[in-house]
Amino acid sequence: MNGNNVFPNGSEPVFGPSPAILGHRGCGRGSVDGLLENTLESFLAAVQHGVDWLEVDVRRTSDDLLVVAHNPADDDGVFYADITGHEAADRGSLRLEELLEALPPGVGVDFDVKTSMEDATRDRDRTTMGRLAPLVVRESRRRPVLVTSFDPGALDIARELAPGVARGLLTWLRFPIGQAVAAAGHLDVQVLAPHWGSLRPNQNEPEALQRPLEYIVDLVHRSGREFLAWCPPLEFTPELLAAGVDALCVNDVPEALASLPPSPAPT
């Protein structure tokens, strides 16, 4: 899309005219340059390196506080849904509010909403997305914001409780790309965010069953959605950029930024 289109409802694109770069869990998954994922130090270092956006995993604790964590439980097998925010902080988890207070205004945040199993029995406004919604609305007044999730229910709650905030459908490893494109085209979302493994022949979709990458990206754009590819290996990024993706969520931010071609100067 890259600034050449608008959505069918007339809203502005999420990403700018040049492909946006999102730091995955800060500077990247695991440890990058000695900085652990989903820590304040990793996120601030990614900003210093010059990323446009940060991808931030969001989970809810038992007392409705929000923490930055990818897995439902920590390394000791303690589930965030079973402990308080203070207990999570004592275990080293970063509070979402602390992160947002530290980030410079203008740095985009992709809130990756990690629905918990326990959300199934809660009212919509008490789910993980329900608790996140007021904060997302607040942040949208001072920075670009996107809410993404593998859970279409969370995206529907976001539509209801944070209606002015862009939403994106995440799809899992090697998820059939045809189903992902069709689903996003008929959900009330602005972004499709497939894993890079869905964009190459794989065990679920061998080459004979896959459309060319350029065709896939173009079809997403013609459906009025933007295309965010997450976690591609560096050797695949030139192909993604040539196909016209709107954003890349990258691991190892320093290496990725050093290897990507410079954005074209505005005309």
**pLDDT score for 262:** 65
Alpha helix stretches (DSSP H) within the chain: 40-49, 85-90, 96-102, 128-139, 152-161, 177-185, 213-222, 237-243, 253-259
pLDDT tens column, 52-75: 999 999 999 999 999 999 999 999
CA distance 1 to 266: 16
Question: How far apart, in Å, do the first and last CA atoms of the chain sit?
Answer: 17
What's the pTM? 0.94
Domain architecture of the chain: domains with CATH: 20-259 (3.20.20.190)
**pLDDT score for 203:** 87
Q: What mean pLDDT value characterizes the chain?
A: 93
The dihedral through the CA atoms of 66, 36, 198, 22 has a sign that is positive
Residue 212 DSSP label: -
For 180, the token pair is 């992902």
pLDDT tens column, 107-139: 999 999 999 999 999 999 999 999 999 999 999
Residue 1 reports pLDDT greater than 90: no
Amino acid at 55: E
CA distance 219 to 82: 43
